[in-house]
């Protein structure tokens, strides 16, 4: 008893206060945490909760259709059928599931069990691109998202797809997914123009995600107009915001769906019929000469046809090319590797991306420059003895060394005036007017002025055609040579540049543009592949409007240099009579005595043109030991237009290592011109009901 009283009398109140304080602290902490979670951080957790229960579903859009100028389909969307299984909808009875697997396996030729499903397999799993069996594929799908269909086999035959649909009641969980894929009815005939699609590159994933596209599903253009016009063709995906349960099953739409915006349809300027004629003409000519010479001399070439008055590209052939339908669903690694290793570079568009010495077709720039700058007069006769000797100097004080320059006609052309200089493609004539020669031509055009006139005809800059990978060519000058070659400009550099040789490089399209400007009386029309842009209902939303880039007879595009070839700041145009006289010389090319007379003498429609045989020594020629001094291999060129008095079509043909332009390239151009006028007659008769 005394002990108890002793304990009671010695109880200390502070202990109770400590207990109270602890209780208050604990309750205060939890009260603060509750306030923090519900009030301060509530919106964030609410967002996370909504994110867990909501899902944004992307609805794939429809890519625009590509037509030729006559409405022929060049690229379209066709259905591809994939067999899918939704794990959550399979029967609960595993025996029934295995029976479904066995029956499906017999139909689609994929084993029920194959491979293992370890952690690495799950992480690297790719639908339709794996070595797993049906059970393993479904297991991975069930692990990741049981209510999401997982692809078992892609691109199955439509008949197999129909069988799976018919057995839907007996095979719960098994279904068909319809995926749009690109189809190219004209295949390799227009592959260099149309191109193909591919998966969204990893480097651009975020950019395309921001635009609403889904990497791994949606595709983008990789080449041709599929790439350059991708922003018009691809459209915009639709979206659905749905509520899902913990297993990922959709419960309901939370917001009204955002519909897809189909891509615009595009009508190109290409005429598929003329494209076929141009490709046939090119291949037949190459095969003829390879057979005739009993050797594989030529392996690639280009043909382009254009309306010089509007800039519409009517045909564009780059050979060799590829079969873009083989890349419609996926890009086969073996096929892409095969194309990449081909020395002829089929994936490379030789029409706009390859740079070659243009040879004598470039003389048109020299011709208008020399005439416009009054280096020579039209009637002035210049002697061509077959060869001349000049003193090659690298500086004014250089004593120099003598060097011979020969004409393609070793006997010479005798007295040559301007028209015959163009018609006969007289090398000595152009040597003298470009670099000067003794008292006969005291001051030649010179490299600076030559460069300006060449640029006025479209050389040295991209044209802006709607194709990726266009090259700009090269118009050299002393500054360029010092920087890139490390030596001074030599006297002979000017002489050979005027021939379209030496350092001069151009694309095939640039050569066509140069002749088209002259054919169109000096007007440079923007080359284009796009005729019209249409919406999904076929309404024209962007009609065709020819675009004038410049007119060399009105727009001051030629810089004037003084006698020391320094820019004066003054500008000059090309006089119309210079253009007209140059056109007359081009017309004489196809007439008696002209370099292309043999090929065009009996053509019913008068035309004009220019031949070119360009020496070259690239890495391919070097590897074949073809670059022998004085006997280099040559490319074959011809560019022309018709009718001469009212041009409707301009055509250029280029054959790599083809030899003489008049013999190889000119026949191709004639065949394309004749095909054009024949098709025109057919269309006219059809419209008139004849």
54: helix, strand or coil = strand
What is the spatial distance between Cα 429 and Cα 441, in angstroms, rounded to a whole number? 10
Q: Where are the alpha helices (DSSP H) in 418-545?
A: 418-423, 427-435, 447-456, 478-484, 491-497, 508-519
3-state secondary structure (DSSP) of residue 367 = helix
> What pLDDT sits at residue 7?
47
Confidence class of residue 618 from pLDDT cuts 50, 70 and 90?
A: confident
Determine which of 147-151, 605-609, 667-671 has the lowest per-residue pLDDT on average: 147-151
461 neighbors 403 (Cβ within 8 angstroms): no
- Tens of pLDDT, residues 92-109: 899 999 999 999 999 999
Is 1's pLDDT higher than 50?
no
Domains defined along the chain, listed by start: 49-72+185-268 (3.90.1310.10), 79-183 (no CATH), 272-688 (3.40.710.10)
Mean pLDDT, rounded, for 139-149: 86
Q: Is the Cα dihedral 121, 127, 128, 132 positive or negative? A: positive
Measured from the Cβ of residue 475, the count of other Cβ atoms closer than 10 Å reads: 23
* Residue 4 or 443, more confident: 443
| Residue 413 burial by Cβ neighbours in a 10 Å radius (0-12, 13-18, 19+) | buried
What would the mean pLDDT of 111-122 be, rounded to a whole number?
A: 81
Instruction: Please give the Cα distance from 389 to 404 (Å, whole number).
Output: 4
Q: What percent of the chain has pLDDT over 70?
A: 95
**Chain segment 258-278, per-residue pLDDT in tens:** 899 999 999 999 999 999 999
* Whole-number percent of the chain with pLDDT over 90: 70
Mean pLDDT across the stretch 73-91? 93
pTM of the model: 0.88
Measured distance CA(1)–CA(6) in Å, rounded: 9
Mean pLDDT rounded to a whole number for the chain:
90
Distances in Å between the Cα of 22 and the Cα atoms of 11, 13, 30, 32, 35 are: 19, 15, 12, 15, 20
Q: Residue 41 above 70 pLDDT? A: no
330 pLDDT band, cuts 50/70/90, is confident
Look at residues 170, 178, 111, 165 and name the one whose alpha carbon lies nearest to residue 138.
111
Across 102-119, average pLDDT: 87
656-670 mean pLDDT:
96
Paired tokens of 108? 């689609």
Phi, psi of 532 (to 5 degrees): -150, 155
- Identify the H or E element spanning 353: none
The yes-or-no verdict on residue 3 having pLDDT over 70 is no
Letter string b/e over residues 552-585, b meaning 16 or more CB atoms within 10 A of that residue's CB? bbebebbbebeeeeeeeeeebbbeeebbebbbbb
Helix (H) or strand (E) holding 582: helix 576-589
248 pLDDT higher than 80: no
Asked if pLDDT for residue 69 goes beyond 60, the answer is: yes
């Amino acid at each position: 008893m005394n002990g108890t009283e002793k304990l009671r009398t010695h109880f200390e109140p502070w202990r109770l206060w400590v207990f109270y304080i602890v209780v208050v602290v604990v309750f205060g902490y939890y009260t603060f945490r509750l306030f923090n979670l519900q009030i301060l951080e509530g919106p964030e957790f609410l967002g996370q909760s909504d994110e867990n229960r909501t899902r944004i579903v992307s609805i794939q859009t429809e890519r625009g259709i590509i037509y030729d100028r006559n409405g022929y389909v060049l690229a379209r969307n066709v259905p591809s059928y994939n067999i899918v299984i939704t794990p959550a909808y399979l029967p609960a009875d595993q025996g029934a599931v295995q029976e479904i697997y066995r029956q499906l396996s017999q139909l689609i030729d994929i084993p029920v069990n194959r491979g293992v499903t370890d952690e690495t397999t799950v992480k690297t799993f790719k639908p339709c691109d794996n070595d797993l069996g049906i059970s393993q594929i479904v297991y991975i799908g069930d692990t990741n998202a049981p209510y999401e269909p997982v692809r078992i086999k892609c691109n199955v035959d439509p008949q197999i797809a129909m069988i799976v649909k018919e057995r839907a009641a007996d095979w719960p969980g098994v279904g068909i997914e319809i995926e749009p894929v690109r189809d190219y009815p004209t295949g390799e005939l227009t592959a260099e123009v149309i191109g193909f699609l591919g998966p969204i590159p990893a480097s651009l994933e975020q950019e395309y995600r921001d635009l609403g596209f889904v990497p791994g599903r949606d595709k983008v253009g990789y080449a041709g107009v599929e790439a350059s016009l991708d922003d018009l063709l691809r459209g915009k995906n639709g979206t659905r915001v749905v509520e899902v349960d913990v297993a990922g099953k959709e419960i309901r739409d939370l917001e009204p769906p955002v519909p897809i915006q189909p891509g615009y349809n595009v009508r190109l300027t290409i005429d598929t019929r003329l494209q076929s004629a141009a490709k046939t003409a090119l291949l037949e000519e190459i095969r003829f000469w390879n057979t005739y010479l009993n050797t594989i001399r030529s392996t690639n070439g280009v043909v382009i046809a254009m309306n010089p008055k509007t800039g519409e590209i009517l045909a564009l052939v780059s050979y060799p090319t590829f079969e873009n339908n083989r890349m419609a669903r996926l890009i086969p690694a073996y096929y892409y590797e095969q194309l990449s290793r081909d020395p002829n570079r089929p994936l490379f568009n030789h029409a706009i991306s390859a740079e070659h010495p243009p040879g004598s077709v470039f003389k048109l720039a020299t011709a208008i420059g020399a005439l416009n700058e009054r280096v020579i007069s039209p009637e002035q006769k210049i002697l061509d003895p077959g060869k001349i000797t000049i003193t090659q100097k690298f500086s004014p004080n250089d004593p120099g060394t003598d060097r011979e320059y020969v004409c393609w006609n070793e006997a010479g052309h005798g007295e040559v005036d301007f028209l015959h200089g163009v018609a006969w493609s007289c090398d000595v004539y152009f040597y003298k007017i470009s670099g000067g020669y003794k008292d006969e031509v005291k001051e030649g055009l010179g490299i600076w002025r030559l460069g300006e006139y060449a640029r006025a005809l479209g050389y040295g800059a991209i044209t802006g055609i709607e194709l990726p990978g266009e090259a700009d060519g090269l118009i050299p000058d002393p500054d360029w040579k010092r920087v890139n070659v490390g030596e001074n400009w030599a006297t002979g550099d000017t002489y050979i540049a005027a021939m379209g040789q030496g350092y001069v490089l151009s694309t095939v399209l640039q050569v066509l543009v140069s002749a088209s400007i002259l054919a169109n009386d000096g007007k440079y029309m923007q080359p284009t592949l796009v005729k019209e842009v249409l919406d999904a209902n076929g309404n024209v939303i962007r009609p065709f409007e020819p675009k004038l880039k410049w007119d060399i007879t009105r727009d001051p595009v030629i810089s004037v240099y003084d006698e020391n070839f320094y820019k004066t700041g003054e500008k000059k145009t090309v006089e119309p009579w210079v253009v007209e006289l140059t056109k007359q010389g081009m017309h004489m090319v196809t007439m008696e005595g002209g370099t292309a007379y043999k090929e065009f003498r009996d053509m019913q429609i008068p035309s004009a043109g220019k031949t070119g045989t360009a020496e070259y020594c690239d890495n391919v020629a070097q590897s074949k030991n073809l670059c022998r001094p004085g006997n280099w291999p040559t490319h074959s060129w011809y560019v022309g237009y018709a009718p001469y008095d009212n041009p409707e079509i301009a055509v250029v043909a280029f054959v790599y290592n083809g030899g003489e332009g008049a013999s190889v390239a000119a026949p191709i151009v004639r065949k394309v011109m004749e095909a054009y006028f024949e098709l025109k007659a057919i269309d006219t008769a059809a419209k008139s009901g004849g």
